[in-house]
């Protein structure tokens, strides 16, 4: 039900001041072009974080690499650095041309964060980074570790005993809990995850097996985070990982920027004014896509165009940035329910921190229906034999949407040739840990819909 007034303003007046809200409240797909996007050079020094913060995070992850490789042998291929492949998806590209009815003479790539080791989602970047940073702080303070130590020592009994006297707490729709729970439990921490009602049963089961305490909430993500934060505040030696505000999480994601630069140069893909980069990032509360976009802007400046993708039901970052009200407004305030199959993106109120940082950096946001996420999920399985979770497919429509004449989400300063000369990266954010049975269900749903196309 669309309410008559929102924050004391009549809904009709909202529609006048912000016309896209009409589509938003009708939960129709939309595309918003950010007018406040600035030249990177001009905005860089106004941002609360900088390239040196990213460099520090990069160094920290390097220090931890021997430990990561030791306790998670699957990371050996990358010597303990948690990173994913960047691949071409030519079959999917042809299928997309067919569906959209237009040729896409672009370079289309898929970033395989669905295959990230340890927790199989983009959260293996930020979530694990913050747990490691916290562990390092404790270990430094107690004198068992210094920057020069071999970090594999952290797997010792003595270190695990040290960490077992400390707690980590987090609120999550599932994937962040998985990352933090798996990493935290491995180090020896007591971990408690406050799960929102969207969290899938298998994620809770898996974490319980690892000795993680799960608190189940009947409400959505915002309530799970608020409860976790409150409980953590009352405890001593308890670190709350604050998905809505954490700069550590954000920086953990941001190291993706220069790593992607490395991968692109290895593949001899040019990024320049004439060959810009377009990146489509699924967005929940904002930390993941925000951190990645921030890292990319540091590396590529005005030659990268970042777009966030949100479910029509959970377009909280769109709402916060479009109205400028950030976390002072939620999708529920407008009668939109935050009920989506994309559990990783099921967030009704955005991070104000991320929204503010993105104000001068983000090109735009588009929204995607649940049906279309299922369609893309099936398409990826059929054409490339890649199995994603629904959240991870949200970026796909970006390729067609940002240049669509009606949606007009294309940065006005860019000539259209930029789009065709460009490299387009769909960030696939999760899927590898999904159990076979659930994969089959997802695929089946997508197939049923595809026949209706």
Per CB under 6 A, residues contacting ligand PLP are 121-123, 175, 282-289, 344-345, 389, 391-392, 429-430
**Which residue is listed with tokens 């320049």?**
272
Beta strand 86-88 with 107-112: parallel, antiparallel or unpaired?
Answer: antiparallel
Please give the Cα distance from 244 to 171 (Å, whole number). Answer: 10
Nearest distance in Å: CB 389, ligand PLP: 6
Q: Which is nearer to ligand PLP, 117 or 188 (CB)?
A: 117
Q: Which is nearer to ligand PLP, 184 or 344 (CB)?
A: 344
Q: Which is nearer to ligand PLP, 151 or 353 (CB)?
A: 353
DSSP output for 86-125: EEE-HHHHHHHHHHHTS---SEEEEEEGGG-TTTSBTHHH
Q: Which is nearer to ligand PLP, 340 or 403 (CB)?
A: 340
Nearest distance in Å: CB 102, ligand PLP: 27
Q: Is residue 238 packed enough to be buried (19+ CB in 10 Å), middle (13-18) or exposed (0-12)? A: middle
Nearest distance in Å: CB 237, ligand PLP: 26
Beta strand 31-33 with 364-368: parallel, antiparallel or unpaired?
Answer: antiparallel
Question: Residues 196-216, buried b or exposed e (16+ Cβ, 10 A)?
Answer: bbbbbeebbebbeeeebebee
The region, left, alpha or beta by phi > 0 then psi within -120 to 50, assigned to residue 316 is: alpha
Nearest distance in Å: CB 412, ligand PLP: 26
Nearest distance in Å: CB 442, ligand PLP: 13
Nearest distance in Å: CB 327, ligand PLP: 13
Please give the Cα distance from 213 to 204 (Å, whole number). Answer: 9
Nearest distance in Å: CB 378, ligand PLP: 17
Angle of the 256-266 helix axis to the 287-300 helix axis, nearest 10? 50
Q: Which is nearer to ligand PLP, 89 or 347 (CB)?
A: 347
Strands across the sheet containing 167-172: 213-216, 190-195, 167-172, 238-241
Q: Which is nearer to ligand PLP, 169 or 345 (CB)?
A: 345
For residue 426, give the nearest of 113, 122, 110, 125 by alpha carbon.
110
**Nearest residue by C-beta to ligand PLP?**
284
**Which residue is listed with tokens 């295959």?**
115
Give the gyration radius of the chain's Cα atoms.
21
Nearest distance in Å: CB 418, ligand PLP: 26
Please give the Cα distance from 222 to 349 (Å, whole number). Answer: 7
Q: Which is nearer to ligand PLP, 190 or 349 (CB)?
A: 349
Q: Which is nearer to ligand PLP, 122 or 191 (CB)?
A: 122
The gap between the terminal CA atoms of the chain, to the nearest Å, is 28
């Amino acid at each position: 039900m669309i309410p008559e007034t929102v924050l004391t303003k009549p809904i009709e007046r909202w529609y006048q001041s912000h016309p896209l809200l009409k589509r938003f409240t009708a939960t129709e797909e939309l595309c918003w072009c950010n007018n406040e996007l600035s030249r990177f050079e001009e905005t860089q020094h106004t941002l609360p974080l900088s390239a040196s913060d990213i460099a520090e995070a990069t160094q920290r992850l390097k220090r931890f690499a021997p430990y990561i490789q030791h306790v998670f042998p699957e990371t050996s291929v990358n010597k303990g650095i948690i990173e994913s492949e960047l691949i071409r998806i030519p079959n999917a590209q042809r299928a997309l041309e067919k569906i959209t009815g237009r040729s896409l003479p672009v370079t289309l790539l898929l970033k395989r964060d669905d295959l990230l080791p340890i927790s199989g989602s983009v959260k293996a970047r930020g979530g694990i980074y913050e747990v490691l940073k916290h562990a390092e702080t404790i270990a430094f303070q107690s004198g068992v570790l210094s920057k020069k130590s071999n970090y594999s020592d952290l797997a010792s009994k003595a270190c695990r005993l040290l960490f077992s006297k400390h707690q980590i707490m987090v609120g999550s729709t599932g994937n962040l809990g998985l990352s933090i729970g798996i990493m935290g439990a491995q180090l020896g921490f007591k971990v408690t995850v406050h799960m929102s009602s969207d969290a899938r049963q298998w994620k809770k089961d898996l974490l319980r097996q690892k000795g993680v305490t799960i608190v189940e909430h009947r409400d959505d993500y915002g309530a799970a985070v608020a409860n976790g934060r409150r409980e953590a505040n009352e405890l001593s030696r308890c670190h709350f990982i604050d998905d809505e505000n954490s700069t550590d999480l954000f920086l953990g994601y941001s190291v993706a920027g220069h790593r992607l630069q490395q991968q692109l140069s290895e593949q001899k893909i040019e990024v320049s004014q004439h060959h810009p980069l377009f990146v489509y990032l699924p967005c929940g509360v904002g930390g993941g896509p925000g951190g990645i976009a921030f890292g990319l802007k540091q590396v590529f400046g005005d030659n990268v165009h970042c777009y966030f993708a949100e479910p029509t039901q959970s377009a909280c970052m769109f709402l916060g940035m479009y109205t400028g009200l950030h976390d002072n407004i939620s999708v529920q305030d407008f009668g939109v329910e935050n009920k989506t199959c994309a559990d990783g993106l099921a967030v009704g109120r955005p991070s104000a921190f991320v929204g503010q940082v993105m104000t001068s950096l983000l090109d735009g946001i588009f929204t995607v229906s649940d049906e279309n996420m299922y369609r893309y999920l099936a398409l990826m399985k059929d054409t490339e034999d890649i199995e994603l979770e629904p959240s991870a497919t949200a970026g796909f429509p970006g390729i067609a949407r940002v240049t669509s004449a009606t949606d007009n989400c294309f940065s006005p300063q860019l000539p259209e040739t930029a789009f065709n000369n460009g490299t387009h990266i769909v960030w696939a954010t999760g899927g590898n840990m999904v159990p076979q049975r659930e994969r089959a269900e997802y695929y089946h749903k997508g197939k049923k819909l595809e026949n209706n196309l």
